[in-house]
Amino acid sequence: MDPLLTAAIATATPPILVTLGYGALCWIKPVTTCRRCAGTGHITTRVLRRPRSCRRCDRGHRLRTGRRIFNYFHRLRTEATR
């Protein structure tokens, strides 16, 4: 086997595996906990103030970036085939 081909395969395999793994994660579990409110859904800004709702998420969960991209292209394809 050619050493350049082996090096090319060894270089290309890890990014492909990471991409496929993240795609599978977005398919199986499309939501994750919000980093801003740590999954509580509320943020306290100052001491002795009432907690307010987190603007970034809904109930402490938000869609993953990969799932947002998938939803965008799926919606685009659905509208194009009407």
Per-residue pLDDT tens over the stretch 9-59 = 999 999 999 999 999 999 999 998 888 888 888 887 777 778 888 888 878
Nearest alpha-carbon partner for 26 in 70, 72, 59: 70
Distance of alpha carbon 68 from alpha carbon 24, whole angstroms: 14
Rounded CA separation 78/60 (Å): 29
| Rounded Cα distance, 61 and 36, in Å | 11
Look at residue 78 and tell me whether its pLDDT is greater than 80: yes
Per-residue pLDDT at 1 exceeds 80: no
User: Which pTM was predicted?
Assistant: 0.70
